[in-house]
Amino acid sequence: MDLFSRTDQQTNPEKIQQIKHWIYEVLEINEKISVSLSQLRCTEPGCPPIETVIAILDKPQRQYKIHKPIAELEQIDIQNLLEKS
């Protein structure tokens, strides 16, 4: 059973680059470290319909989830990740 799937919504490439810029800046990540953004749809009860998963591909790898689609993310959402870590 597939509980998570990628959404078929296309996100503006400029928006993705802006979000990555915020991630590097706010989380103080070295620009040589890769950052991955994924937008997933969950069909389980109580799960947000769409969430964004941010993976920081350093050692150890870090992962954050924001219960919004990529298109709706703002800089404050990235800043709020600091409070949760």
With a pLDDT cut of 90, the percent of the chain lying above it is 71
Question: What does residue 75 show for φ and ψ, rounded to 5 degrees?
Answer: -60, -35
Give residues with Cβ within 8 angstroms of 41, minimum separation 6.
4, 5, 6, 7, 49, 50
Report pLDDT digits (tens) over 45-72: 888 899 999 999 999 999 999 999 999 9
pLDDT for 10: 66
**pTM of the shown model:** 0.81
In CATH, what number is assigned to the domain containing residue 42? 3.30.160
Number of domains in the chain: 1
SS3 31: coil
User: Does residue 7 carry a pLDDT above 90?
Assistant: no
Q: Which domain holds residue 70?
A: 4-84
